[in-house]
Amino acid sequence: MEASKKSRFTGVIAGLTLLMIAGLSACIIMLILMSVDDISFDKVMVFVLGLAVTVISLRTIVKQNQSYSQQRVDMARNGGEAVLTQWEIDKTQWTHFCKSKYESDINESSGYGWSAACLMGLVSGFSLWNRFDLGQIVAFVLLIAGVFFFIGKYVAGLKARSDFKRQCQLEVADIHFARSSIIFNSRLILLNELGYRLKDFSIQDKFNMKVIIFTVESGVGSRKSSSGYTIPMPADKMEEANQLSSYYNGIA
């Protein structure tokens, strides 16, 4: 994609983000003022206006991201963007991959439950400290942690089932490996642009097959976040996979 289009997209997103932050800040300030002072018509109107700006900006950002992603996908498929190689995963291997990944995600859902339980248990413990006696605090913490364990596990399982149903609708999976992005079943994954950075890229044995596993980071400092991806590898693509690993680890 042309550098000018990328720059334009970056500028639009940056402007909308600042607008959203301004709207959200106005909402927070008005809530604080209304909580310590009288509620007035002016404060309510500023709050409503800030909320409207926040919602509209967020929706516009989502639409811009979707439009940009679709343009990049179309360009890669139509030869408008340099692609290193393209893979197709046949139905048999794709079905096996989807089922195996679903089972793995369901098994890991308990981990999300324990994470939610520990986090909310600590938060509730600090919140209730010195307000009740020790026995009551322990009972409340265990109750809250238990509830959030099941909530965390349920949400993780729900996402796994949703992903499984969506992926199983595909007859054939396709992957386009580009220089700064990977397109996995029409999903654009940025690797080295617009604030996204490839952290690692490796070939591993998983689900009784060879797979490519990589992690992408975004954000800066303490606000960094990462997303992991797993892509099945056709049995006859080992040489290409090694070349891809060498290239992508070079930009990581």
Q: At what angle do helices 134-168 and 91-128 cross, to 10 degrees?
A: 160
The answer to whether 100 touches 211, Cβ cutoff 8 Å, is no
pLDDT score of 198: 92
Which of 12-16, 27-31, 126-130, 197-201 shows the lowest per-residue confidence on average (mean pLDDT)?
126-130
Cβ atoms < 10 Å from Cβ of 72: 23
CA atoms of 94 and 75, how far apart (whole Å): 25
DSSP strand E in 33-131: where?
83-89
Radius of gyration of the chain (CA): 23
Helix (H, G, I), strand (E, B) or coil at 101: helix
Which residues make beta-bridge pairs with 51?
A: none
Highest mean pLDDT among 11-20, 81-90, 197-206: 197-206
pLDDT score of 75: 75
Q: Tell me, what amino acid is at 123?
A: V
The yes-or-no verdict on residue 70 having pLDDT over 70 is yes
Task: Tell whether the torsion through CA atoms of 57, 61, 63 and 64 is positive or negative.
Answer: positive
Report residue 20's pLDDT band, with 50, 70 and 90 as the boundaries.
very high
Report residue 2's pLDDT band, with 50, 70 and 90 as the boundaries.
low
Average pLDDT of the chain is: 85
213-239: pLDDT as tens digits: 999 998 766 667 888 899 999 989 999
pLDDT score of 4: 66
155-170: pLDDT as tens digits: 888 888 888 888 887 8
pLDDT score of 218: 83
**What predicted TM-score, i.e. pTM, was given to this entire model?**
0.67
Report residue 191's pLDDT band, with 50, 70 and 90 as the boundaries.
confident
Q: In what order do the strands lie in the sheet with 187-190?
A: 83-89, 173-178, 181-184, 187-190
